[in-house]
Amino acid sequence: MATTSELDRVTMVVLRYLRGPVFVLIFVYAIGITGMALIPGEDADGNVVYMSLFHAFYFFTYTATTTGFGEIPNAFTDEQRLWTIFCLYMGVIAWLYAIGSIVRLVQNPHFLGSLAEHQFANAVRRIDQPFFIICGFGDTGSLLARGLSDHWFGSVVLDTDPERIKALALRDYRVKMPALCADPGIPKHLVDAGVRLPNCKAVVVLTMDEEVNLRISIMARFLNPDLQILCRSTSLRHSEHLNMLGNLTVINPFEIFAQLLSMAITAPRLHNLNSCLVRNRKAKLGRPLDVPTGEWILCGYGRMGKWLHKYFELHGIHPVVIDPDVSEVPETSRVIEGHADHLSLEQAGIQHAAGVVAGTDSDHDNLSILMCAHSLRPNAFTIVRQNSHDNQIAFDAAKADLILQSSLTTARRILKHLISPQIQILIEYLREQGEECTRQVVDRLISEIGDKLPHLWRINLCAEEAVAVARRLQSRAGLSLGELIRNPYDLKGNISCIALSIERGEQRIMLPGANEPLELCDEILLCGTEHSEVILLATMNNAYTLNYLITGIDAPRGYLFRWLAGLRKTDEVLPDS
């Protein structure tokens, strides 16, 4: 059975509401025009004349607009005027009926929904750049859209909450982001969002319902088997189902935060670099957190608490757990049953504890725990879980040492996957190499950009993105990394960036040197400033600039200057007469 397009649905709704008024108007005008043509009139000489159908239609047309050009082509008789009065009143009634039907039509939710879907599908089809589909525009979706916009990536948004869609229209994004208030779990809406389009690069599933996330992921996989899917899930059962779909990345913010805390304990410099790469504005290059490794108090053994407890145990830390439900806590940890307050914190030994984690699913409880911990031991290292982005101001005022905001953690990890998977691979590489290698990278970054937040971007040395570079590499002229990132304003230095990795097919080159030869279709991950990205983009697509960086010679441009330069070279070659 053929599917019905949104344009067909809009047309059917319009016809259903307006066919009655249209028939009434046609009937009233037909009766009026016919009557005017049949009623005899008089010309200036008193002869009997009949109005033509064209003149009758013209008369009714301008009287319907209340223009009033007078009686044409001759003055009317009383019979004609009486018929005109009757037709005018009938026309007013017909137009009131028609206008009322139009008002009801534009208020009809089915019409508005069908029209919105039709406009949305057209807007998506007009996108000619790579884009992503975001299913769920809550706190995480909003933060992710902002991050993608900052990197000039477009997105298409689906959400069932009309207020969130209205809020999106008020955002000042750098790129247009079409949005539709609809259930992203319905295949038709995913198709309208462009899940089958070749420039759709990934589907990001971020609703608050695990079952809905699973359903959306399954639908997207069947609609496009090769498309990358990133899905938020904190449930082990749902994660197992999701991993079976293939080419799908499960994002668990609690596991990610536990990994980050583990990194802060064992590799503080790498944790600091990672925080700066994801543009954490509270982080500063070269200023890592000093996380103590003594005794810890873990308040709350829910989804976050279980992951934190797991990674604490991996480092030989056995935290004291405070939770009303202690049935699942491992025997290696001391347990205090109840809610975290002054009494339970004192029983847990806060006076000599290294740190306190407030990890319940209530922001009010977490802030209360934080206040108790600060009052009992002001210098204790504190980690707090923030559940709602709306409470950001209160958590900033609480001044915890480390804040887990689930939405922000999820958005940052997804952004890293979408911008370039090489980022996370680089972090794992630096983890293996050790803190000394990380220190060298941080020192290089500081020398290039100072105390600014690093800006990440990637380039592809292909004909579509780097015309001049691709032509040079195709001609086998050769090009090194150092030549590419040389500063056109100062050939002795480079633009403010460093190359973090080069992806060449299945091969990955981490922290490449300046002498690294480049090849066609290399994908390079760079870190620096936004201004350096603009300069590099201009270099890659301008053959004159690229040649100047390599040779140091500013070649003449234009036919006239090249011709003059050729004559000069000829004069230098010819011997003196």
Q: Find all residues with CB under 8 Å of 284, minimum gap 6, and list them.
A: 272, 276, 451
Domain that holds residue 228: 128-251
| C-alpha separations of 210 from 234, 237, 305, 417 in Å | 8, 10, 19, 21
pLDDT at position 219: 93
Q: In the predicted model, what is the mean pLDDT of residues 227-252?
A: 88
> What are the tokens at 441?
């990278």
**Position 575 in a domain:** no
Do 66 and 13 sit in the same domain of this protein?
A: yes
Provide the number of structural domains found in the chain: 4
Final residue of a domain: which of 57, 77, 107?
Answer: 107
Do 227 and 290 sit in the same domain of this protein?
A: no
Do 389 and 326 sit in the same domain of this protein?
A: yes
CATH of the domain at 526: 3.30.70.1450
- pLDDT tens figures, 244-302: 888 899 999 988 988 888 888 888 899 989 888 888 877 888 888 888 878 889 988 88
Secondary structure of residue 132 in the 3-state scheme: strand
Do 274 and 386 sit in the same domain of this protein?
A: yes
Do 144 and 21 sit in the same domain of this protein?
A: no
pLDDT at position 567: 47
> What are the tokens at 401?
């040492």
**Position 524 in a domain:** yes
Final residue of a domain: which of 387, 419, 451?
Answer: 419
What rounded mean pLDDT belongs to the chain? 85
Question: To 10 degrees, the CA torsion angle through 430, 431, 433, 437?
Answer: 50
Range in 49-53, 94-98, 324-328 with the lowest mean pLDDT: 324-328
Q: In the predicted model, what is the mean pLDDT of residues 104-130?
A: 84
Q: Percentage of the chain surpassing pLDDT 90?
A: 26
- pLDDT tens figures, 400-420: 888 888 888 899 889 888 887
**Position 558 in a domain:** no
**Position 426 in a domain:** no
Half-sphere exposure for 172 (CA within 13 Å, toward CB)? 0
Query: Which of the two residues, 557 and 270, has the higher pLDDT score?
Result: 270
**Position 439 in a domain:** yes
Residue 161 reports pLDDT greater than 60: yes
Q: Percentage of the chain surpassing pLDDT 70?
A: 93
Do 298 and 409 sit in the same domain of this protein?
A: yes
pLDDT at position 535: 92
**Position 205 in a domain:** yes
Do 528 and 415 sit in the same domain of this protein?
A: no
Do 305 and 402 sit in the same domain of this protein?
A: yes
Give residue for tokens 């922000």.
408
Please name which of 496, 478, 479, 480 lies closest in space to residue 488, comparing C-alpha atoms: 496
Please name which of 442, 441, 439 lies closest in space to residue 511, comparing C-alpha atoms: 441
Residues in the chain: 577
Terminal C-alpha separation, the chain: 89
Report the alpha-carbon distance of residue 149 to residue 195 in Å, rounded.
20
**Position 570 in a domain:** no
Report the alpha-carbon distance of residue 348 to residue 372 in Å, rounded.
13
Give residue for tokens 């939405």.
407
Please name which of 215, 167, 219 lies closest in space to residue 193, comparing C-alpha atoms: 219
Band (136; pLDDT cuts 50, 70, 90): very high
How would DSSP label each residue in 184-196? Answer: TTSHHHHHHTTTT
Do 411 and 441 sit in the same domain of this protein?
A: no
Do 270 and 414 sit in the same domain of this protein?
A: yes
pLDDT at position 6: 57
Query: Which of the two residues, 531 and 10, has the higher pLDDT score?
Result: 531
CATH of the domain at 165: 3.40.50.720
- pLDDT tens figures, 439-462: 999 999 999 888 888 888 889 999
Q: In the predicted model, what is the mean pLDDT of residues 44-70?
A: 80
Q: Return the number of other C-beta atoms located less than 10 Å from residue 100's C-beta.
A: 11
Do 230 and 298 sit in the same domain of this protein?
A: no
**Position 567 in a domain:** no
Do 301 and 400 sit in the same domain of this protein?
A: yes
Q: Return the number of other C-beta atoms located less than 10 Å from residue 123's C-beta.
A: 17
- 453 close to 281: Cβ distance less than 8 angstroms: yes
